[in-house]
Structure 1
C-alpha cells in the first residue's frame, strides 16, 4: 500500500501553500469588488447606486442613456481602427526585427538590441512633448495615425519574439533552404507558425493597452471624428447636472466589455503563452 503523500496543513510546506491560497483569494476579491460594484450600479436605477438592496429592480435604461449621450458607434469604430492599425504594424515590424536579432549576426547587433531593451526602461509619458511636436510637423494631429504612430513598433514585442525565435532549431532553417526557401519564406512558413501562442498573448496585451490608453489620445485629438472610447468617456464627467454613476458605470462596461470578453475566451492561451515565453 502506498503512503499518503498529501501535505498536512500544519506542516511548514502546507502552511506556505495555505498562505499562498489566502493571498491569491485576497487579491482576487480586491480586484473583483470594483467590477462587481460597476455591474450592480449599471444594471440598477440611480437611487440604488450607493446602497445594496436585493429587491432593487433590474434595468437596461442606463445603457440606453449612455449610448445616446455619446456617439459610441463612432468611438468604437475609431478604437477598433486604432488598435488594428497598431497591432498589424507591430506584428510586421517586431517580427522582422526579432528574426534579424535571433538569426543574423551583423555589425553592432548587440548594441542595437541593447538600445531596444533600453526603451523598456523609458516611461512613454516622458516622450509626450517630443511626440506631439513630431506629429505637428507631420501635419497629422487630430487623427488616428497621430495616436498610432508612436506605437507602431514595440521593444517588448521585439524582445518576446526574439526569445521565441531563438528556441527554433536551426535544422529547420537548413531543411527549408534545401527545399529552396528564402529567408522571408522561412520566416513566414517556419517561425511565425511556431510562435502563434506568443503572437496571441502579445496581441491581447497590445490591444488591451491601446484600447485603454487615455493620456496620449486626449492630447493629440480634439474632435469626435478621431477620439477613441477612453477619451469619449469624458463627456460623462463634464456635465453641469453632476455625476450620474449609473450612466458612468454603464458607459464604462460598454467600453471595457469587449476586452473582458476577449480575456475570458483566451485566458488559458494567454497564461500558457507567457509561461512558455518565460521558460528560456
Structure 2
C-alpha cells in the first residue's frame, strides 16, 4: 500500500489578515494606556524616556487627588450613572413591552419615531435641552445632566427585540397564575431579558461615566460636576503641562470602569452574545 503524506493545511489569508488587524487595533489601544501608566507611576523626569530601573512613586496620584475634589466628583458621577440607568431600564422595559405585546393604534408609527431618535446626534439637541432645563429651573443640578437621557431609544429597541422572542404561552401561564401586566413583566419578561439589560447597562454606564460636553455646559460648580468635567481642571493650570499628574488623574477617573470590566468581562461578553449585540 502506498503511504500517504499529510501536509499541514495552509493558514487562510483572511484569518491572517483578521488576526493581524486585531493585534494592530489592540496595540493602538494599549500603547496610550501603557504610556499613561508609566508616567503616572514615575517622576516627571521620566515622562519622555524609558528606564527599566526608574523609581516608582505615588506622588503624582497624591498631587492629582489634592488638586481637585475627586471625592465629590466620584459621588456625583456614581449618582448620575445610577439615576440614568435606573430610569432608562424602567421606562424602556415598559415601552418595549408595549411595542412587543400590546396592540394599539399607531404602534408602528411610534416605534418608527423611536428608531428615528437613534439617528439624531445628541449634540444637535444641546441648545434645546439647555433651554428646557433653564425653564424647569434645573440648571447646575445632577438631575439636569441625566434627565435628557432618561428615555433611551437604544434600550427600547433591544428589549423589544428580546421580548418578541419570548413565547406567548408564558404570558398565558402567568395570567392563569393570577399575574397582572406589571406582575407579568416583573416575573416573566425581566428575568428572561437580564442578559440584554446587562449588555445595555455596560453601554449606558460607560457613556455617561465618560460624557463631557453636556455636563460641562449644564453645570458650573463642584457640587454638581462629574469626573470628566473635573478632570478638565488639569488642562487649564498655569504651571504648564505635567503629563505625569494629568495621567495620574486620568487613571483615577477611568480606574473603576477598567477594574469593573476586568472583573466581569466574561459576564459582559456572554451578555452581549445572548443579547445579539454586534
Structure-1-length-normalised TM-score: 0.95
Structure 2 match to 1:93: 91
The answer for unaligned runs of 5 or more in structure 2 is none
Distance change >3 Å, CA 132–CA 7, structure 1 → 2: farther
Is structure 2 residue 46 aligned with structure 1 residue 45? Answer: no
Are 1:41 and 1:249, in contact at CA under 8 Å, matched by a contact in 2? yes
Structure 1 position 156, deviation (Å): 0.2
Structure 1 segments (4+ residues) deviating >6 Å: 3-7
SS in 1 for 2:118: helix
SS in 2 for 1:211: helix
Are 2:70 and 2:227, in contact at CA under 8 Å, matched by a contact in 1? yes
Is structure 2 residue 211 aligned with structure 1 residue 213? Answer: yes
SS in 2 for 1:54: coil
Structure 2 match to 1:78: 76
Give the Cα–Cα distance (whole angstroms) in 2 for the partners of residues 178 and 193 of structure 1: 19
Give the Cα–Cα distance (whole angstroms) in 2 for the partners of residues 236 and 6 of structure 1: 60
Structure 1 position 269, deviation (Å): 2.2
Superposition RMSD in Å: 1.7
Give the Cα–Cα distance (whole angstroms) in 1 for the partners of residues 263 and 202 of structure 2: 11
Structure 1 position 276, deviation (Å): 2.2
Give the Cα–Cα distance (whole angstroms) in 1 for the partners of residues 221 and 185 of structure 2: 41
The answer for unaligned runs of 5 or more in structure 1 is none
Structure 2 match to 1:123: 121
SS in 2 for 1:121: coil
Structure 1 position 6, deviation (Å): 9.9
Are 1:214 and 1:231, in contact at CA under 8 Å, matched by a contact in 2? yes
Structure 2 match to 1:278: 276
Structure 1 match to 2:142: 144
Q: How many residue pairs are counted as aligned between the two chains?
A: 274
Deviations 1:38-70, CA, capped at 9 Å, x for gaps: 011100001101111111111111111100110
Structure 1 position 5, deviation (Å): 10
Structure 2 match to 1:69: 67
Structure 1 match to 2:254: 256
